[in-house]
Structure 1
Amino acid sequence: MAASLPYHEPGIVTILIQTSFLLLLNIANFVLDHSLYCGLLGQIFVGVAWGTPGSEWLSTEAEQVVVQLGYLGLLLLVYEGGLSTSLTALRANLWLSSCVAVTGISVPMGLSFVLQKLSSATPLQAFAAGAALCSTSLGTTFTVLRSTGLIKSRLGVVLTSAAMMDDVIGLVMVQIISNLGSSVNCIGAVTVVRPLLVSLAFAVCAPLVCVFVAHPFTLWLNSHRIKHPKGLVNQLVKKRGTPWVMHSSILIGCIAGSTYAGTSNLFAAYIAGAAISWWDSEFQDSVQETSAAVTLASEQNESTSHTQHENGNASLSAAEHSQKVDSSGSAVFERYYSQPLERILKPFFFASIGFSIPITEMFHGAIVWKGIVYTTLMMVGKLLCGVWLLRISTASILPPKAAAIIKHLKNSTPPAHPPHSQEPPATSQEASPPSPQPRPDSVTQTTNSHSSPAGTNPRSIYPASILGCAMTARGEIGFLISSIAESNKIFSSANAEEGKSSEIFLVVTWAIMLCTILGPLSLGLVVRRVKQLEQGVEKEGRLVQKDVLGVWGLS
């Protein structure tokens, strides 16, 4: 073995190929993000064109490096999603997120058994296909939410937590599928139960550590810094890079621990981000106040002859300095990780998805129509997740005459405002009670409603559409599960040709690919329409309400 790697200058062809690859990934992202909010689609297509499925301009070694760096980008995307999570909103919507996640898992799994009739699949093959299609792409979800500005909204919290639950189940499926190669008898209880129990342990232990370890330790640290303003601990805490070291250590520790324990490192990255977000919400202000107090105490000890006016100026200067140094998780992420993630790691991740699409084997007549049929079923399975955000109005389920009577009774009810008020009566189909926290820019709609879905007006389907479209993309976990099933000969039939992909694998790949493309594309179109409506578009004499998403769009 060589003692070192000899250094060779790369050839001009290699330089041009890799330069064009990296530049086009960013150009495609910029163009599509500013038009359809789905720049990741361009990055997937660039990966198909430059990688093994297309021109094969990138070498196998280069593709492997892109896959590895892209997975680092995926971990950072999920970690950023955890940093952006409001734990208050997460607790308030946990039951709703669980219902969405269960729907997103059970319906695609059930519909996948159509493959028994569609492609003569065995129940085991149909189960493996359903396992691949029950997941939701976390990278795609966080990327689209970030580009649309919904990542901190209530809708974003429900979506990300439901997608996280789906992927935990999907990664449990990975453990099961990877042990199905030769015989079903090789599955043990540990294979199925261990990932679930470890994931549950992370979800339960993380809040306990925050409350019973991080909370008292932070209080002790603040008091220690005030008592010893010149001590080593205070000097370390004041350094600009200390929050980065602490946050990175938490992230890496959670990822390594979860991997060795046997659960998803993506789930651990999300837990790490959520824990840091909790600490920021609880202690960020107190830490800044402590820094100001420590600085002031230090200056008073150094020079006791200063006047009260000078001390006041020192206190103000210290307070201003503490406010300028933002050590929150989001600020640290923006300072150290945002640029490499946005320009290199995230584009590599979506390009690596393109490497996994066997485009040359997919365009055969039977495979194409079977893939489209199966894709339709899989899209329906995830779109049904949005049903949980719909509120059915009484007028839509009653007979027309009964609905007209109810409407007449409501309109004949004496108004709540004083008799001298000149407010015109509502002319919409059904009057909506005011939201508990109305937005100041909300404009009353006259004939067609797009208002809050949370009970204020049940006819708005935009939040449900956004949720269903965002849950549609399968992405990395889907390709991972289907590739494992194919390599373990689960999708292969007895008379399959050597060296060629099985029909079921190609049909499943069609579904994963089209869902990953059409999901963000449809979501981008819906969000663009919502943005137009929020600007108060006047159309055919009707003033459309600006507050389209209602409470689902609030942070």
Structure 2
Amino acid sequence: MAASLPYHEPGIVTILIQASFLLLLNVANFVLDRSLYCGLLGQIFAGVAWGTPGAKWLSAEAQQVVVQLGYLGLLLLVYEGGLSTSLTALRANLWLSSCVAITGISVPMGLSFVLQKLSSATPLQAFAAGAALCSTSLGTTFTVLRSTGLIKSRLGVVLTSAAMMDDVVGLVMVQVISNLGSSGHHIGAVTVVRPLLVSFAFAVCAPLICVFVAKPLTLWSNSHRTKHPRGLVNQLANKRGTPWLIHSSILVGCTAGSTYAGTSNLFAAYIAGAAISWWDAEVTHPVQETTTAGTLHSEQIGTLGHSEPGEVNASASTSEEPQRTDSSGSAVFARYYSQPLERILKPFFFASVGFSIPITEMFDGSIVWKGMVYTALMMVGKLLCGVWLLRISITSIIPTRLLAIVKHPRIQIPHFWGRVDQEKSKISQSSTPAHTPQSQEPPSGSQEPSTPSPQSMRDSVMQTTSPHSSPAGTNPRSIYPASILGCAMTARGEIGFLISSIAESNRIFSPADAEDGKSSEIFLVVTWAIMLCTILGPLSLGLVVRRVKQLQQGVEKQGRLVQKDVLGVWGLS
């Protein structure tokens, strides 16, 4: 081993290749994010073009460095998702998120056994393929939610928690597939139970530590700082770098501990961010006024608690807000991590996904059509997750509409839906007459409801979709929330490529007499599904979100009133 690495100036060709690669990653992200909200697709394609699958302009060593730095970006993406999570909304939607996650795992796993007929796969090979396709790309999910502005909405909370559950199961599958190859295709109980138990322990112990350790320690520190404003503890707490040091230590400690314990470090990064978000929101912090000395006199702190309400509000408005803004998890992340993550680490992560696509081996005729069929099944498996957000009342709606069809055989479908919505709006108006602008009741002598005018139909649709005229907590009749959830869950990404690569390297996909250096057919079919799902998921999600943003502008086009409240309660933070 050499005592040091000799320094050599890189050649101009290397400089031009790496500079153009980094610039293209950012330019492609900027252009596609502004148009389709899926700039990550351009970064994936840049990785394919510059890396081993394409022109091989980047050396193998450079691609390894990009992969390693990209994974740091993935950890920070998941950590930021935890910082943006509202724990109140997470607890309120935990059951729904669990149902979405179970659907996103079980349906692709079950549909993967189609490979037994499609590619003559064994049950073990079909299981490994389903394990690769049951996960959801956390990096893609958080990136798309950030670009669309839905990360703090109720829909974003349900989506991120469900994707996190899918990711934990996917990481369990990584351990299972790894041990299958090393143990002669035998599954032990420890292989499955250990990652699940460690993940469950992290999910349970983290809230307990926050409530019974972090909160009392913070309250004691606040009391000590109030009594000793010039003490060492208060001076250290007022340093600008102290919150960064604490938050970074929590992130690094959680990720390292989870890795050595045997579970997903991405899951631990999310828990670290969620814990810091809880600490910012739930634990009281001393209100400090910034002075030239950087501290607040003890008599000033004491008067804040005994002054008049107006004085307290006035002092809090001038001193409390800057202090909380400077020390919160989101502010620290934006100050220290946001720029390198956005410009270097995140583009490197999605480019590393492009490195994993064996594009030159994927265009054999039989592999292409099998990959398309399997991709369609895997997309359906994740799109079904959105069913949980649909408001469907089978027992009350279907008999009513069937009876209406029998009575009015010539009625058109738009009039039929408008008539039903109008009847429901009349019921809500009768219960809340204060919100009824004008009466829409039919003439007293009519036995059947008359066909409503176009204006009344538009009013009734607006009333039934508005949260002010519908009961609290009901879902909108729009399918856009379900579409957004299903499309966002479709992308597989890093975990899918990881599981399929491990299965291929351990000869689970390949037969015993397979040629070395040549990919197996099942691996290529699975790669088709992962690649197309990772591309089509964000692309379709971007198109749906762009349509939703157009609808939320409330513009009247061609005499048709576009409703503003498209996402309903799912768009609320």
Partner of 1:323: 321
TM-fit CA distance, 1:446: 4.4
> Is the contact between residue 295 and residue 318 of structure 1 (CA under 8 Å) also seen in structure 2?
no
1:213-261 deviations in Å (ceiling 9; x for gaps): 0111011000000111111111100001100000000000000000000
| Distance in 1 between residues matched to 2:183 and 2:320, nearest whole Å | 62
Partner of 1:471: 489
TM-fit CA distance, 1:297: 2.2
| Distance in 2 between residues matched to 1:45 and 1:476, nearest whole Å | 15
TM-fit CA distance, 1:289: 5.0
1:166-190 deviations in Å (ceiling 9; x for gaps): 0000000000000111555643211
TM-fit CA distance, 1:319: 7.0
Change in 2 beyond 3 A, CA 1:554/1:409: closer
1:365-419 deviations in Å (ceiling 9; x for gaps): 0000000000000000000000000111457523645247895976886834669
1:26-76 deviations in Å (ceiling 9; x for gaps): 000000000000000000000000000000000000000000000000000
Partner of 1:251: 251
Corresponding letter in the other structure for 1:133: L
Corresponding letter in the other structure for 1:92: A
| Distance in 2 between residues matched to 1:94 and 1:393, nearest whole Å | 22
Change in 2 beyond 3 A, CA 1:19/1:416: same
TM-score by length of 1: 0.90
Partner of 1:402: 403
Residue 386 of structure 1 pairs with residue 404 of structure 2: no
1:323-381 deviations in Å (ceiling 9; x for gaps): 32421000000000000000000000000000000000000000000000000000000
Partner of 2:117: 117
Partner of 2:413: none
| Distance in 2 between residues matched to 1:535 and 1:450, nearest whole Å | 15
Change in 2 beyond 3 A, CA 1:423/1:218: same
| Distance in 2 between residues matched to 1:278 and 1:177, nearest whole Å | 35
Partner of 2:366: 366
TM-fit CA distance, 1:499: 1.3
> Is the contact between residue 473 and residue 512 of structure 1 (CA under 8 Å) also seen in structure 2?
yes
- Segments of 5+ residues of structure 2 without an aligned counterpart are 302-309, 408-418, 443-448, 453-457
Corresponding letter in the other structure for 2:483: S
- Aligned residue runs from structure 1 range 515-554, under 5 A: 515-554=533-572
Partner of 2:47: 47
Change in 2 beyond 3 A, CA 1:55/1:379: same
Match of 2:479 among 444, 448, 461: 461
| Distance in 1 between residues matched to 2:10 and 2:91, nearest whole Å | 53
Change in 2 beyond 3 A, CA 1:496/1:89: same
> Is the contact between residue 445 and residue 543 of structure 1 (CA under 8 Å) also seen in structure 2?
no
Deviates more, 1:89-98 or 1:457-466: 457-466
1:288-333 deviations in Å (ceiling 9; x for gaps): 35989x94425879xxxxxxxxxx99x9889735532421000000
Partner of 2:430: 415
SS in structure 1 opposite 2:48?
helix
> Is the contact between residue 445 and residue 545 of structure 1 (CA under 8 Å) also seen in structure 2?
no
RMSD (Å) for aligned C-alpha atoms: 3.0
Change in 2 beyond 3 A, CA 1:209/1:300: closer
Corresponding letter in the other structure for 2:220: W
SS in structure 1 opposite 2:217?
helix
> Is the contact between residue 387 and residue 482 of structure 2 (CA under 8 Å) also seen in structure 1?
yes
> Is the contact between residue 371 and residue 511 of structure 1 (CA under 8 Å) also seen in structure 2?
yes
Change in 2 beyond 3 A, CA 1:500/1:545: same
TM-fit CA distance, 1:497: 2.2
Residue 484 of structure 1 pairs with residue 485 of structure 2: no
- Aligned residue runs from structure 1 range 43-192, under 5 A: 43-181=43-181, 183-184=183-184, 186-192=186-192
| Distance in 2 between residues matched to 1:112 and 1:274, nearest whole Å | 34
Partner of 2:357: 357
Partner of 2:241: 241
Corresponding letter in the other structure for 1:140: T
TM-score by length of 2: 0.87
TM-fit CA distance, 1:537: 2.2
SS in structure 2 opposite 1:379?
helix
Corresponding letter in the other structure for 1:388: W
TM-fit CA distance, 1:551: 0.6
1:485-530 deviations in Å (ceiling 9; x for gaps): 0000000023422210000000000000000000000000000000
| Distance in 2 between residues matched to 1:225 and 1:107, nearest whole Å | 54
1:87-118 deviations in Å (ceiling 9; x for gaps): 00000000000000000000000000000000
Residue 507 of structure 1 pairs with residue 522 of structure 2: no
> Is the contact between residue 476 and residue 568 of structure 2 (CA under 8 Å) also seen in structure 1?
no
- Aligned residue runs from structure 1 range 203-282, under 5 A: 203-282=203-282
Give the aligned length: 532
Partner of 1:7: 7
Deviates more, 1:447-456 or 1:135-144: 447-456
> Is the contact between residue 462 and residue 563 of structure 2 (CA under 8 Å) also seen in structure 1?
no
Partner of 1:286: 285
Change in 2 beyond 3 A, CA 1:256/1:319: same
- Segments of 5+ residues of structure 1 without an aligned counterpart are 302-311, 432-442
Change in 2 beyond 3 A, CA 1:112/1:221: same
Corresponding letter in the other structure for 2:364: H
Change in 2 beyond 3 A, CA 1:117/1:420: closer
> Is the contact between residue 226 and residue 290 of structure 1 (CA under 8 Å) also seen in structure 2?
no
| Distance in 2 between residues matched to 1:449 and 1:417, nearest whole Å | 13
| Distance in 2 between residues matched to 1:225 and 1:70, nearest whole Å | 40
Change in 2 beyond 3 A, CA 1:318/1:231: farther
Change in 2 beyond 3 A, CA 1:10/1:112: same
TM-fit CA distance, 1:450: 5.8
Corresponding letter in the other structure for 1:220: W
Identity %: 80
Change in 2 beyond 3 A, CA 1:23/1:411: closer
| Distance in 2 between residues matched to 1:143 and 1:286, nearest whole Å | 31
| Distance in 1 between residues matched to 2:287 and 2:571, nearest whole Å | 30
Change in 2 beyond 3 A, CA 1:247/1:333: same
| Distance in 1 between residues matched to 2:350 and 2:487, nearest whole Å | 18
SS in structure 2 opposite 1:179?
helix
Corresponding letter in the other structure for 2:482: A
SS in structure 2 opposite 1:181?
helix
